Structure 1
Amino acid sequence: MDPDYYKSHEMMWGTLGTVRPFSNFHPDRDVGRIQTALEKKDAATLVTILTNRSNAQRQMIAKVFKEKTQKDLAAGVKKAVSGDLGTLLQELLMPPLDFEAHRLQQAMVGIGTDEETLMEILCTRSGKQLQEISAVYKQLYKKDLEKELKGETSGDFAKLVVALLHKENVAGVVQRDTESLCASLNGKKADAGPWIEILTSRDLDHLNKVLMGLELQTGQIAEQAVEKRLTGDIRLGLKVLVQCIQRPDIYLAKRLMTAKTPIVQGIMVSHSEEDLLSIRAAYLKLTGTSLYTSLQKLYKGDHLQALLAICRSED
């Protein structure tokens, strides 16, 4: 790890991110080192630089690289570094909104839809962020995100993802909302409608009170109620939504426990400057092992060093 990284810690105390702005930042110098590294296919140097700069700094590096060489840095990295490490470095070079749009697109491309990745992003991003991601998606892929989501989903699950895409905070009454959810469970078949309507249109404090009221009235936590009374994609979708309302850090830690490389890289890159520290803490509590140690058991070489640099330290 670049020793100058530690000098940047004092700039960002209080953040829950692990990747922070590099204090001794000189994009021209970084570009010179990157040019040499690309020519030599020196992945270690690329890892050292790109994992020790904030995303905003990486964008500046890419801009200077383009001005100096008339070439796209991400394309150069793709040519020089292959496999999962190459993918990770390309992901680090994407602006945050572009990366979220990319993850949504990848979850829908090809045969079969990755419903849980769709839910992960839709549930952990604010309404404002999702509006911005939708605009970027349109710009990048020349397609409307809502139409794409509708085309890849169906039934109540389609209603849920569209409602999440347009989530907003509407005033509600806790008791009334709690009663609506309880009533939805009383019929022969549970009605997902009230869950979709309420859980996508209230603020988190309100929703946590509603879910607590549901538990008191029914004797079971919301996730258990959804598991028992619903089936298929809507069951998965509402379970993810409930978990993200209550403890998104625990939900994301559980996702990391799958040890699937696209999921691990997606979450670590996406949350590296926001809340990866809290996800790390939740991972340790769930597994008894730190994320840093778990990565060492799963990966090796420069790919491991890149992931450890994003993770930052042992817990």
Structure 2
Amino acid sequence: MADVQGTIFPAEDFDAEVDAETLYEAMKGWGTDEDPIIDVLANRSNEQRLEIREKFKQMYGERLIDRLKSELKGDFEEVVVALLTPPAEYLARCIKGAMKGMGTDEQALIEIMCTKDNQEMEELKSTYAEVFDGDSLEDDIEGETSGHFKRLLVSLCNAGREEGDENDVDEGLAEEDATEIYDAGEGQRGTDESKFNSVLALRSFPHLRVMFDKYLELSGNSIDNMIDEECDGAIKDGYMAIVYCVRNIPGFFAKRINDACKGIGTDDSTLIRCVVSRSEIDLQQVKEVFETRYGRPLSEAIKDECGGDYKNMLLAIVKDASVNPFPDFDAEEDAKILRKAMKGFGTDEDAIIEILCHRSNDQRQEIDTMFKQAYGKDLIDELKSELGGNFEKAILAMMQKPAVYDATCLRKAMKGAGTDEATLIEIMCTRKNDELTAIKEAYNAEFDRDLEEDLKSETSGHFERLLVSMCQANRDESYEVDEEEAESDAQELFDAGEGKFGTDESTFNMILALRNFNQLRAIFRAYERIAGTDILDSIKGECTGSLEDGYLTIAKGAMDTPALFAERLYKSMKGLGTDDKTLIRIVVTRSEIDMEYIKAKYEEMYEKPLADAIADDCGGDYKKCLISLLG
């Protein structure tokens, strides 16, 4: 896969001594300050962490890992220790743990053994022997597994997979392999797993991709379905893991993480292993596949499944947001810096940007309160008096609580002559139930008005009914998919649109406003099968104006939320002039949610970094502010 990348990179201006001292101070005295530990370890490469580990021992005469183990506990301790261990050693220890005691964790063995190339496998074997006093990885696997599953793992352990790219694939050999696999499985009674092993464990990934296509042509069945029908247990899981990795390695790890978070309880060891081990390889792509496939950002899954410092550490590694809570936060000190920046003649805009663009919204609220307590003045009023133009608008947007800011944007969109339907659509059609509820409450508190009543008075027809439906905040927010219901809904949408003269918008409203995003994607797939066209083209053909824009926003949001906001950002800067209101609103509101996804999607879609686009369209302190929010 081209351009794979992790979420952790070597820190610039790295100083192992300073970091070692920071960690020591965090564990000194009574209690432990976990925030600096998270800030240092989640923002240094593994190589840099190992330097910190050595420096800590030199400076304080004790092993950093031992000290951390004595201070931390539970899953947070496990992830911290994982971060401070060399990658090959960490995976070697995971394998040993998977084979230790009663029972064997076959899934962990599969995940590690089936995803390594030859060089990684050789390093893993030598590290295993080094860490465990000469133990042989192959011997341990033979002692803890059996049958064809054992033979598959031993084959992988031998690190004999052919290596090459697409240009090295022999089409004739791929066809022969496909025939042999067919004859060993579907083409006979019973299954000859030895033939599966020899092909799946030894052929190069490009060769296997071609072979899978040849198999489909030959048998009319996909390789996945055949394995599912012919095999069971750990050997099936092993073969399937290889197939997933051949097709898309980030997709395999996205599935592993989803499985770890699914059902009752969380498989924390798997979650930690996948996040940590991929953090410097392809975690950015894993995140993108995860959101596309499972309908929620990886960060949201982590927030739902984990808690406390463990959650905060994983979120710091995953890095969905471009603005995160500042680790060494001191509201009093920040208030003092802002006061100094606005005191006397002139204003130090750089200091304002440095503080406010690197604090979370909750932290900005604390600064606001502290400023009033310390100086008897309202921080927002002071900022208004010192700043101007779009820079002022961006800073004031950052200083409002998210729900209050959205409520304010909605009020402005409906106030005065004309209505800004695009703003109404962007906010009402992209917010979650709890966010919409908070917006309604903030709207009433700030303006002593009812949001639903104002929407009714400022819009009309089916567009009004769509916004009122969204205002109810009744969308199903589960992640469950009912394929039969999806087929039924798709048929209803077809019958309400392309399948009749005119359009029954009430059916579109009901389905688009109420179904969960995973379900909507299933509906859209079924719709394309029924109608022979995708849902976006159908909406464009059946609807016009604001209603069309509203439906498209919901559909695009369900398909790929970061792509929706990337498109909105692109349009805000396209052509003559800049739609600064939209640009500010999206950068500010998504900075603590999914801006890293949006940035990646923007560059993928428009072949230009978002920061460069903003630099071309904006200027001065306004430009600096927005780019700082991008991270």
- TM-score interval (norm. to shorter): over 0.9
Instruction: Give the match's secondary structure for 2:27.
Output: helix
Q: Conserved in 1, the CA contact under 8 Å of 2:175 and 2:215?
A: no
Which of 155-164 and 293-302 deviates more?
Answer: 293-302
TM-score, length of structure 1 as denominator length: 0.93
Counterpart of 2:15 in structure 1: which amino acid? H
Which of 147-156 and 103-112 deviates more?
Answer: 103-112
1:57 is the counterpart of 2:32: no
Correspondence for 2:157: 165
1:145 is the counterpart of 2:137: yes
How do residues 79-90 of structure 1 correspond to structure 2 at under 5 angstroms?
Answer: 79-90=70-81
Q: d(CA) in 2 for partners of 1:279 and 1:70?
A: 39
Correspondence for 1:8: none
Correspondence for 1:4: none
Correspondence for 1:277: 284
How do residues 1-315 of structure 1 correspond to structure 2 at under 5 angstroms?
Answer: 16-39=5-28, 40-142=31-133, 143-170=135-162, 173-185=173-185, 186-258=187-259, 259=261, 260-313=267-320, 314=594, 315=597
Q: Conserved in 1, the CA contact under 8 Å of 2:114 and 2:238?
A: no
Distance change (3 Å), C-alpha of 1:118 and 1:87: same
CA RMSD of aligned residues (A): 1.4
Instruction: Give the match's secondary structure for 2:203.
Output: coil
Q: d(CA) in 1 for partners of 2:126 and 2:257?
A: 28
Q: d(CA) in 1 for partners of 2:256 and 2:75?
A: 18
Q: d(CA) in 1 for partners of 2:35 and 2:174?
A: 54
* Structure with more relative contact order (C-alpha pairs < 8 Å, separation 6 or more): 1
Which of 259-268 and 234-243 deviates more?
Answer: 234-243
Q: d(CA) in 2 for partners of 1:282 and 1:216?
A: 27
Q: d(CA) in 2 for partners of 1:82 and 1:28?
A: 25
Counterpart of 2:180 in structure 1: which amino acid? S
Counterpart of 1:52 in structure 2: which amino acid? N
- Deviation of residue 165 (structure 1)? 1.2
Gaps of 5+ in 2: 163-168, 262-266, 321-593, 598-631
Instruction: Give the match's secondary structure for 2:102.
Output: coil
Counterpart of 1:28 in structure 2: which amino acid? E
- Deviation of residue 223 (structure 1)? 1.3
Q: d(CA) in 2 for partners of 1:109 and 1:246?
A: 32
Distance change (3 Å), C-alpha of 1:16 and 1:42: same
Q: d(CA) in 2 for partners of 1:31 and 1:251?
A: 36
- 1:142-167 CA-partner distances (Å, limit 9, x unpaired): 21100001111101110000111123
Distance change (3 Å), C-alpha of 1:184 and 1:15: closer
Q: d(CA) in 2 for partners of 1:112 and 1:42?
A: 38
Which consecutive aligned stretches of 4+ in structure 1 deviate over 2 angstroms post-superposition?
167-172
Aligned pairs, number: 302
Q: Between Structure 1 and Structure 2, whose CA radius of gyration is higher?
A: 2
TM-score, length of structure 2 as denominator length: 0.47
Counterpart of 2:313 in structure 1: which amino acid? A
- 1:79-120 CA-partner distances (Å, limit 9, x unpaired): 000110011101100011111111111111111111111111
- Deviation of residue 286 (structure 1)? 1.1
Q: d(CA) in 1 for partners of 2:310 and 2:231?
A: 40
